[in-house]
Amino acid sequence: MGQSELDELIRPSIENMGLELWSLDYKTQGRHGLLRIFIDQAEKGVSLEDCERVSREVSALLDVEDPFAGAFTLEVSSPGLDRTLNTKVQFERFLGATIKVRLRIGYEGRRNFNGVLMGVEQEDVVLRNGEEEYLFPISSIENAAVVPQLEPKDK
């Protein structure tokens, strides 16, 4: 079963719990698989209890549907501060954030770019680094992630 089929199987259960399926990743190593599910909740974030609830629900669902040939490990967590951005909606949610982008194919001899996410125009991401502004199709992005901006503590 591919990742898009897994997404279609799992997403409704997570959304019924009032949470969002941020992303999922399934990898196999020999006979054993690893399914990582990242969940979020727009304003609130997620708690350990949310992860436990999703783990129980998805585990029961996968026991019934049995989509994997062998044994697998299930991990559920939040996407974290340095979360990956995969969809147009996710990019739009982080307008104004500093992100790092790795392109599938180089542009101007580079594949890695950092900058402020200025906008999303149709299916393109607008990234500004200093005076330079870049427009990258989302489909050309191998991976993108938010760069955490931590505020210094008062001494």
- For residue 40, the cross-strand partners are 20
Per-residue pLDDT averaged across 121-136, rounded?
Answer: 95
Computed over every residue of the chain, the mean pLDDT equals: 90
The pLDDT > 70 percentage for the chain reads 95
Spell 66-101 as b/e; 16+ CB within 10 A means b. ebbeeebeeebbbbeeebbbeeeebbebbeeebbbb
| Position 155 pLDDT exceeds 60 | no
- pLDDT given for residue 90 in this prediction: 94
Beta sheet of 132-137, edge-to-edge order = 132-137, 124-129, 110-121, 98-107, 141-146
pLDDT in tens, 103-123: 999 999 999 999 999 999 999
**Domains defined along the chain, listed by start:** 3-77 (3.30.300.70), 88-146 (2.30.30.100)
